Amino acid sequence: MQALKETHFTLPKQESFYRGKVRDVYATADQLIMVASDRLSAFDVVLPRAIPFKGQVLNQIALRNLEATKNIVPNWLRSSPDPNVSIGLKCEPFPVEMVIRGYLAGHAWREYKEGKRTICGVPLPEGLKENDKLPRPIITPTTKAHEGHDEDISREEILTQGLVSKHDYVKLENYTFELFNKGSEMAEERGLILVDTKYEFGKVEDTIYLIDEIHTPDSSRFFYADTYSYNQLRGEKQKQLSKEFVREWLIANNFQGKEGQQIPEMTDEKVKEISERYIELFEKVTGEKFEPRAYEDVEKTIETNILKNLS
């Protein structure tokens, strides 16, 4: 099964290269060339098999959502010369990710189930069930780890440690709530619920920019609106569009990224299933038919498209 696992370019005026969990990032003095690979990460671990079309799905959903939210906050994007590529402004990233949650799901639920009633300094009421709607959306930031696990951190710790100035952090909070409201409206139009998501921000001089992806299945969780209340009332699992189904499969096979744990085998059948779920999410979120890219000489094609844009 063909997929884009990684790229190996040397681009004009390239100053640095960084391979993240999912993206290959090439930097010039003032631009970032971000290639969305088909790598799949969960529990902050890159899994051994790449997932066909995953990078294209992520990149094209992000493009649409960056365009739809640019009136809320300026963003880094300048062009997309290839289905897997975004090129934009090089910003100095803030060292925290702004995670916002409207429902008790995923990591927050796992913490709550273990008895914690405060997450990232935010108190939670007693008596909640998994996937219950929270009284109001809450921001639960994390640190940004280049390697290993991102860690929960509170607003107070961010300010005390001087990770972000209070002036900037208030802006990040306001942008996060506004973006979540817009994302929720867009999801509702498509019959979905935006459950939780994360935003990353950077700065150039005095201007804050939204950077990286937005409202993709790697950064967000969606429930189907038409079955949410029915399933919640009966204590049944929510049908969702996110990579949580990958996490659940890993947990069921005794893997949560902890030391000594073995990643379960990803068969061709499992890889195909995951790929189809990503394509389903693209079509459900955008309302458009997914047009899969060709994988023949894919790395060379991507490089050619980038060079045309840079020339």
Residue 241: pLDDT band by 50, 70, 90 thresholds?
Answer: confident
User: What CATH number belongs to 94-241?
Assistant: 3.30.470.20
Q: Quick one: which H or E segment has residue 237?
A: none
Residues 34-53: what's their mean pLDDT?
Answer: 94
Q: What are phi and psi of 138, to 5 degrees?
A: -125, 150
Where do the domains of the chain lie? 94-241
The answer to whether 87 touches 81, Cβ cutoff 8 Å, is: yes
CB-CB contact of 3 with 295 (8 Å):
yes
pLDDT digits (tens, 9 = 90+) for 122-169: 999 999 999 999 999 999 999 986 555 679 999 999 999 999 999 999
Q: How far apart are CA 117 and CA 112, in angstroms?
A: 6
The 3-state DSSP class for residue 194 equals strand
pTM of the model: 0.89
The answer to whether 175 touches 181, Cβ cutoff 8 Å, is no
